[in-house]
Amino acid sequence: MKPIWIVDDDPSIRFVLEKALARENLPTRSFTHPREVLDALADITAGDPARQGPQVLVSDIRMPGGSGLQLLEKVRELQPGLPVIIMTAYSDLDSAVSAFQRGAFEYLPKPFDLPKAVELIRRAVEESQREEVTEERQTATPEMLGQAPAMQDVFRAIGRLSQSQVTVLITGESGSGKELVARALHKHSPVADGPFVAINTAAIPKDLLESELFGHERGAFTGAQTQRRGRFEQAEGGTLFLDEIGDMPFDLQTRLLRVLSDGQFYRVGGHAAVKAHVRVIAATHQNLEQRVKEGGFREDLFHRLNVIRLRLPALRERHEDVPMLTRHFLQQSARQLGVEPKRIADSALVRLEQFAFPGNVRQLENICHWLTVMAPAQVISLQDLPPEVLEAPVYQPSARAGGSGADASAVVTAMPVAPIAAASPSELVGGLHPAAAPPAGMAGAGLASAAATPSWSTADATPAPVAAAVVACSWEQALETEAQKLLAGGQPEVWDALTRRFESRLIRTALVATHGRRMEAAQRLGIGRNTITRKIQELGLDAPDEA
Counting the structural domains of the chain, the total is 4
Of 347, 364, 390, the last residue of a domain is 390
Residues 187 and 127 in one domain: no
Q: Nearest to residue 29, comparing CAs of 59, 71, 68, 69? A: 59
3-state secondary structure of 197: strand
- How far is the C-alpha of 503 from the C-alpha of 431, rounded, in Å? 8
Given a cut of 80, is residue 19 above it in pLDDT? yes
Whether the CB-CB separation of 409 and 471 falls below 8 Å is answered with: yes
Backbone angles phi, psi at 351, to 5 degrees: -65, -35
- How far is the C-alpha of 256 from the C-alpha of 304, rounded, in Å? 10
Residues 469 and 404 in one domain: yes
Of 44 and 332, the one with more pLDDT:
332
Residues 178 and 94 in one domain: no
| 546 in any annotated domain | no
Confidence tier at 172 by pLDDT (50, 70, 90):
very high
Q: Which of 201-205, 209-213, 326-330 has the highest mean pLDDT?
A: 326-330
Of 102 and 496, the one with more pLDDT:
496
Q: Nearest to residue 185, comparing CAs of 131, 139, 246, 241? A: 241
pLDDT tens by residue, 437-453: 333 333 333 323 333 33
| 152 in any annotated domain | no
The CATH number of residue 77's host domain is 3.40.50.2300
Q: Nearest to residue 332, comparing CAs of 64, 52, 139? A: 139
Sort strands 66-67 and 62-63 into parallel, antiparallel or unpaired.
antiparallel
| 181 in any annotated domain | yes
| 547 in any annotated domain | no
Q: 343-348: which pairs have CB atoms within 8 A and are 24 or more residues apart?
A: 343/378, 343/379, 343/380, 344/371, 344/379, 344/380, 345/379, 345/380, 345/381, 345/382, 347/381, 347/382, 348/380, 348/381, 348/382, 348/384, 348/385
The CATH number of residue 290's host domain is 3.40.50.300
Would you state the pLDDT for residue 186? 92
Neighbours of 427 (CB within 10 A): 16
Q: What is the mean pLDDT of the chain?
A: 78
Q: Domain limits at 364?
A: 318-390
Residues in the chain: 547
> Omega of the bond prior to 111 within 30 degrees of 0, cis?
yes
Residues 85 and 168 in one domain: no
pLDDT tens by residue, 357-415: 999 999 999 999 999 999 888 889 999 999 999 988 887 664 433 333 333 322 222 33
Would you state the pLDDT for residue 387? 92
Would you state the pLDDT for residue 400? 39
- How far is the C-alpha of 214 from the C-alpha of 232, rounded, in Å? 6
Given a cut of 60, is residue 433 above it in pLDDT? no
Q: Which segments of 188-225 does DSSP mark as H helices, in order?
A: 206-214
Q: Nearest to residue 447, comparing CAs of 463, 464, 429? A: 429
Residues 368 and 236 in one domain: no
- How far is the C-alpha of 529 from the C-alpha of 153, rounded, in Å? 11
Confidence tier at 96 by pLDDT (50, 70, 90):
low
pLDDT tens by residue, 468-496: 444 444 667 788 888 888 888 888 888 88
| 190 in any annotated domain | yes
| 150 in any annotated domain | no
Residues 372 and 241 in one domain: no
**What are the residues facing 404 on neighbouring strands?**
401
- Mean pLDDT for the stretch of residues 302-321: 92
DSSP for 238-255, written as a single string: SEEEEETGGGS-HHHHHH
Residues 188 and 306 in one domain: yes
Would you state the pLDDT for residue 209? 87
3-state secondary structure of 158: helix
| 148 in any annotated domain | no
Residues 406 and 467 in one domain: yes
Of 284, 311, 338, the last residue of a domain is 311
Q: Nearest to residue 406, comparing CAs of 359, 441, 448, 436? A: 448
DSSP for 76-138, written as a single string: HHH-TT--EEEEES---HHHHHHHHHTT-SEEEESS--HHHHHHHHHHHHHHHHHHHHHHHHH
- How far is the C-alpha of 511 from the C-alpha of 452, rounded, in Å? 9
Would you state the pLDDT for residue 427? 34
Residues 254 and 232 in one domain: yes
**Rounded CA Rg of the chain:** 29
- Mean pLDDT for the stretch of residues 343-361: 92
- How far is the C-alpha of 273 from the C-alpha of 443, rounded, in Å? 42
Q: Nearest to residue 10, comparing CAs of 29, 39, 32? A: 32
Q: Nearest to residue 426, comparing CAs of 468, 492, 481? A: 481
**164 burial via Cβ count (<10 Å: 0-12, 13-18, 19+):** middle
- How far is the C-alpha of 4 from the C-alpha of 377, rounded, in Å? 44
- How far is the C-alpha of 526 from the C-alpha of 311, rounded, in Å? 9
Whether the CB-CB separation of 543 and 516 falls below 8 Å is answered with: yes
Would you state the pLDDT for residue 4? 93
Question: What proportion of the chain, given as a percentage, has pLDDT over 70?
Answer: 77
Would you state the pLDDT for residue 452? 32
Given a cut of 50, is residue 293 above it in pLDDT? yes
3-state secondary structure of 449: helix
- How far is the C-alpha of 225 from the C-alpha of 212, rounded, in Å? 15
Residues 75 and 129 in one domain: yes
- Mean pLDDT for the stretch of residues 507-520: 84
Whether the CB-CB separation of 426 and 486 falls below 8 Å is answered with: no
Of 135, 150, 175, the last residue of a domain is 135
The CATH number of residue 364's host domain is 1.10.8.60
- Mean pLDDT for the stretch of residues 205-234: 80
Please state the pTM of the whole predicted model.
0.49
Whether the CB-CB separation of 511 and 520 falls below 8 Å is answered with: no
- Mean pLDDT for the stretch of residues 185-214: 88
| 475 in any annotated domain | yes
Residues 170 and 307 in one domain: yes
- How far is the C-alpha of 347 from the C-alpha of 344, rounded, in Å? 8
Given a cut of 50, is residue 139 above it in pLDDT? no
List Cβ neighbours of 384 (8 Å cut-off, separation of 6 or more): 348, 371, 374, 375, 376, 377
- How far is the C-alpha of 456 from the C-alpha of 152, rounded, in Å? 34
Residues 492 and 440 in one domain: yes
